A and B are shown apart, each in its own frame.
Chain A
C-alpha cells in the first residue's frame, strides 16, 4: 500500500477583495482535483510554473492548508478529515523543507536551540540525550557541531538549508515535502544539497515529495514526476518515460525550455506563447488549450480524457508521443 494516497484533492481560497462586503466571493481553485500516490522510500517530483498550485498541494498534504474536498490518506488514515490525534501523528511522521533557507529558521534562535526544540516538543529522545542528538543531526547533514551555537544570520545559505534539512530529520519522518528547497541556492551549493538528499533518502528509506520548477534537478533526483498546470496534474509517470517521451504538450514545452549548457543547441525558435491564465477564471475544457499549439476545437469544450500507459498517465486528446 502507498504511504501517501491523494484522491481528488481540491483546495480553494476566497480571492481577496472579492466584491463589496465580500458578497460575491470569487474562488481561486489552487488545487483542482489532484490524485497522486507516493510509496515509502519513493521520490516524486512535482513540477509546474508559479501559480500552478504545486506549493499549495504540498502544504495541503501536510495539513498546513485547509482542504476543500477530497482525501489525503497517510498510512491509510484520511488526514483531510482527521482528528487532532491523527494530525498529531502526521506531524510526528512528516516534515517540510523550505525554499528560503533563512526565512524558514527563527532568526533569534541558535541552530542548537532550533533543533533541540523539535526533539523536546516531539519527545524524540530523552531530555539528557538532546545535546548529543543535536550534534548527531548536524553531522548527518555535513555540518560541524560547533555551528550549534550560531544563529542563522551568521551562516551561509547552503549551511542554513542543511540546518533546515537537519530540523526535518529530527522528526525522524517517513515523508518529507521539499518545497523548492534548492531554488534559492547557488549552483555549486545546489549540487551538494541534492547529493545530501539522495544519500539520506537511500539511507533512511524516506519518501520525498520534491516540489520544483527546475526539471533537470527533478530528472536527477526523482523516481517519478508529476507535471502540474493550473491546479491539475496533466502528466505523471516514471522520470525517464516522461522526459524521453512526453505525451502532454505542456510537458514537452517545459522540457524544451530547459536551458541546457550545450552551446550548439539553440533557443527554441517558437517558445510556448503566453502565460498561465489566472486561476480565478479557468478556461473551459482543457485548462491548457489557449496556449497549446495542438489545440483542437474539442479542447475548449470538454475535459481531455486521461490515458494510461503502464505507469505513465496523461490528460490530453493527443495519442502519440511528442518528442
Chain B
C-alpha cells in the first residue's frame, strides 16, 4: 500500500463572502521512496494542494474540504491542530522556495535543527546538538561541527537551502514536501541541491513531493509526474510515460513550450491564451478555451480520470 494517499482534497478560499475553489478534488498516491513531481503554472494550485495537505494554509480565509489524506494508514483530516502539529515536522517535513525567509535570522542554524528534534523526539539538549551536526553532515555542509553555530546570514544561498533541508530532516520525516526548492537558486547550485535530494531518497527511503514549474527539473529527478491546471489534476503517470507520451493536450503543450534542444530563430511553440481566473472558470474542461483539439463534450462536462482527465486524450483517436 502506498505511504501517502490523497483522496478528493479541495482547498477553498473565501473571498469577500464568495467561495473560490483553488484546488478541486485532487487524488494521488505516493509510494515509499517515490519522488513525485507536482507540476503546474503559477495559480494552478500546486502549492495550495500541498499546503492543504499538511494544513499550513497561509491565510485564515482558506480551508481544506473533503476527502481523505492518509499517511501510513492514518487519516490526517480529522486531526485537530495539536495532532497535526505532531505530524508536521514529525512524519511530514516541508522545505520552501526561499530559505532566507523561512529560517529564523536570529537563531543559530544548529539550534533551529535541534529545536525540532527536542520537540518531537524529546531528546536532550546535548543529544539534539549531536544529531543536528549529523544532519548537517548528511546535507553536505562542510565542517558541520563549526557551522552548527553559524547564523543563517553567514551561509550562502545554496548552503541556506541545505540548512533548511537539514531542519526538515531533523525529525526523520517519511515524506518531504519540497515547494520549488531550487527556483531561487542558480543552475549550478540547483544541480547540487537536486542531487542531494536524490541521495537522501536513496539513503533514507524518503518520499518526496516536489512542487515545481520546471519540467526539466522533474524529468531529471522524479519518478512520477502529476500535472495541475487551474486547480485540477489533469494528468498523472510515470515520468517516462508522461514525457514520452503525454495524453493530456495541456501536458503536451507544456512539453512543446520548452525552448531546449533546438536552436536558431524558429518560433517557439506556445499554448495560446492565458490560464483562466479561478473565480471565472470556463464551463466544462478548464483547459478547453486554450486547447487545440477541443471537442463538443469539453464545453459541457468537466472531465474526470486519474491517469488523464480529458474527454479526448491524445493517442486515443483513430
Question: Which A residues are within 8 Å of any B CB, using their own CB?
Answer: 49-50, 156-159, 186-192, 194-195, 198-199, 202, 213-217, 219-221, 239-240, 243, 253-254, 256-269, 271-273, 275-276
Q: List 14 A-B contacts (CB under 8 A).
A: A187-B214, A187-B215, A216-B258, A216-B261, A220-B264, A240-B263, A243-B263, A258-B260, A259-B187, A259-B217, A260-B216, A260-B261, A275-B156, A276-B186
Chain B residues near A50: list those with CB within 8 A.
157, 186
A68 to chain B, nearest CB (A): 25
* Assembly CA distance A190 to B216 (angstroms): 15
Measured as residues with beta carbon below 8 angstroms from the partner, the interface class of chain B is 35 or more
**Alpha-carbon distance between A216 and B261 when the two chains are bound, in angstroms:** 7
* Known pairs A188-B41, A271-B195; A216 contacts B260 (CB<8 A): yes
Tell me the interface secondary structure of chain B in the complex: helix
Within 8 A of A (CB), among B242-299: 243-244, 253-255, 257-271, 274-275
- Counting CB contacts under 8 A, is B20 at the interface? no
Contact partner of A254 (CB less than 8 A), chosen from B156, B159, B187, B244, is B187
Among A187, A189, A192, the one with the most B-chain Cβ atoms within 10 Å of its Cβ is: A187
- Distance in angstroms from A308 CB to nearest chain B CB is 23
Q: With A188-B254, A220-B259, A275-B157 as given contacts, are A156 and B274 in contact (CB-CB < 8 Å)? A: yes
* Residue on B nearest A271 in the bound complex, by CB: B191
Nearest Cβ on chain A to B279's Cβ, whole angstroms: 13
- CB of B138 within 8 A of chain A? no
**B57 at the binding interface (Cβ < 8 Å):** no
In the assembled complex, the Cα of A273 lies from the Cα of B158 at a distance in Å of 11
In the bound complex, what is the Cα–Cα distance between A265 and B189 (angstroms)?
18
Min distance, Cβ B201 to any Cβ of chain A, angstroms: 12
Inter-chain CA distance A68–B26, complex, in Å, is: 56
Q: How far is the CB of A221 from chain B (nearest CB, A)?
A: 7
Q: Are A263 and B267 in contact (CB under 8 A)?
A: no
Our count of residue pairs bridging A and B at CB distance below 8 angstroms stands at: 140
B190 CB-CB contact with A under 8 Å: yes
Question: A191-B257, A213-B186, A253-B188 are contacts. A261–B270 as well, Cβ < 8 Å?
Answer: no
Interface string of B219-244 (1 = CB under 8 A from A): 11100000000000000000110011
User: Residue on A with the closest CB to B192?
Assistant: A271
Q: Is B186 a contact partner of A49 (Cβ separation < 8 A)?
A: yes
Looking at the complex, which one of B157, B268, B274 makes contact with A194 (CB distance below 8 Å)?
A: B268
> Within the assembled complex, what's the spacing in Å between the Cα atoms of A296 and B250?
49
Q: Report whether B260 and A198 are in contact in the complex, using a CB–CB cutoff of 8 Å.
A: no
- CA A276 – CA B268 in complex, angstroms? 32
Chain A residue, CB-CB nearest to B157: A275
A219 and B259 within 8 A (CB): yes
Contact B265 A202 (CB under 8 A): yes
**With A257-B190, A258-B260, A261-B215 in contact, is A187–B254 under 8 Å at CB?**
yes
On whether the beta carbons of A263 and B240 are closer than 8 Å, the reply is yes
Minimum CB distance partner of B216 in chain A:
A259
From known contacts A188-B254, A267-B221, infer whether A258 and B187 are also in contact, taking CB-CB under 8 Å: yes
CB proximity of B16 to chain A, nearest CB, Å = 16
A259 to B220, CA, bound (A): 7
Residue pair A217, B259 in contact (C-beta under 8 Å): yes
Q: Is B123 an interface residue (CB 8 A)?
A: no
Also in contact, A259 and B270, with CB within 8 A (given A187-B254, A239-B263, A275-B189): no
Residues of A within 8 A of B220 (CB): 259-260, 263, 265-267
